[in-house]
Structures are given as structure tokens and as C-alpha cells.
Amino acid sequence: MSESKNFENTISILDSINKENTVSIYVPSLKRVVAFKGITTGQQKSLLKAAVDNPVFRTRFIMASHNIIFENCEEKEILAGLTSVDSLAIMIQYRAAIYGTVYEVEEGDDKYTLDLAESINRIHGLDLPGPKTIVDGQISITVGVPLMTDQYNVENALRRNDLNKVQNSENLNETIGEAFIGEVSKFIKSVVVTVDGTVHDLKYETLSPAQKYIVLEKIPSITVKNLIAYLDDVATKQRHITRLTGKTSKGVEKQIDYIVDSALFAIN
């Protein structure tokens, strides 16, 4: 047998082993457990490489997580409906499966130990808000928790050229503005405008990211304020997962908001 054939056979064996090495992960939007293949060394490398990212965005980590979930999920039919909060929950459970539930974070000169088991318990009890329609005069906007694929597409389209953009305060302000628009845009499902009694559905879901941003910039600020209230509701539920009581080696306790990013997958 040729070396090439031997190599192919070895890779095939490794693929089979990886397929058998599954992790049971609870998906909040489905309210049930789904089987995922274990994270490979190559996939873990992609997460760690995401540490070199834009200081405002988490583009590389979001994209790496998206790719891992798509590759590893054993129920491909559910992927289109997974939300950005599902993605966060899945990655926390993946981390616990790889390294355990003990996670250390640094704040100032102190190091706090967190127990991710508490996050996982809260994930099991999480109820995501349903879609909501906000009517403000002639404008009707429906919002909902972003799909994971929508989050990926927005990150990819808006930020693929931004990794080295933040060089000074002027660029930083511009980048933060783009981050705000992009974040709000992810939540919008439809925009309907009524003019002289005629209803115009902008088919928001079919617009390119650039077109979505243009639409959002034209929406009155009072309407955006109502949109942000929905975003805050989702953010509050998400913080309930990632805000834990940390404890130092001296027994000092503090509420810690940890970030689900590449640091979560670094070896402690």
C-alpha cells in the first residue's frame, strides 16, 4: 500500500474516532440536548488564533465558533434556526467539556475563580424573548433574537477589513459607531413603512448588510430607542449566564462578567 493511501486511511480512522467522540450540549432555543462532535485540535487552534482580533469586535471568534458549530452539529437540520445566544451557550458548554468548569479570570491585580457549572445551570433555565413588533407612526419594525447565521454574515460583511482599522481615537469612534449600527441591525427581522395609506414592505431580510445599515440610519431615533429596549432585554438574559460570583485565593468574592471569547479556551 502506498504512503498516500496509508495517510488517507489514517485520516479516515481519525475522522471516525472524532465522530464517535460526541458531546451532549443543551440548546436554549430548542430546550433540549443536541449531540455535537468534540472539538478537534485544529478547531481549538482557530479559537486561540481569534485572540488577535479587533479591539471593538470579536469577529474572528464569532466566525470560528460559527464554523465549529456548523461542522460539529450532528443535527444539520437545526442549524438554520440557531440563535446568537445558542452559539454563546454552546461554546460555554464546549469549554466545560474540554477543560472542566473551573475558569480563572484576572481583574486588576486579583485573580478570581469562577464555576462555569453555574452558567450551564442557568443556560438550562433560559427563556429567550420572542419576536416583537414596534409600531411608531408610519414605521413598523419586527425584532427578534439574531440568528447565528445573521450574526456571522453581519460580522463578515461589516468587519472583514476592520482588523487593523482602529489606530486612533477618530477611527475608534467611527468603528464604535459601526459596531452599534451592526448590533442593532442583527435584531431587525422586517421593516414596513406606510405612506399615504400604502404599505411598503422593505423586505429587510433580503437586503445586503450595507443596505440594512442605510435603512437603519434613516429610522427616527425615538424608534431606535424602542429597539434598544428589546436589545437590552436580550442582553440582560445573556448577562444572567455570564455574570458569576468569583472568589480569590484569599476568599474575596466579587461579581464577574466574563466574556465568551478565545480566552475561555486558553489553557489555565
pLDDT at residue 87, as a whole number: 97
Percent of the chain beyond pLDDT 70? 81
Distance from chain centroid for Cα 64: 10
**Per-residue model confidence as pLDDT tens digits over 17-41:** 455 579 999 999 999 999 999 999 8
- Full-model pTM: 0.83
Q: In the predicted model, what is the mean pLDDT of residues 116-126? A: 97
pLDDT at residue 185, as a whole number: 85
Distance from chain centroid for Cα 53: 15
Give the contacts of 75 (CB within 8 A, at least 6 positions apart).
Answer: 34, 35
DSSP assignment string, 48-104: HHTTS--SS--HHHHHHHHHHHHHHBS-GGGGGG-BHHHHHHHHHHHHHHHH-SEEE
**Per-residue model confidence as pLDDT tens digits over 169-187:** 455 445 555 667 778 888 9
Distance CA 261, CA 64 (A): 10
Residue 169, classed as helix, strand or coil, is: helix
Answer yes or no: are the C-beta atoms of 258 and 101 closer than 8 Å. Answer: no
Q: In the predicted model, what is the mean pLDDT of residues 106-131? A: 94
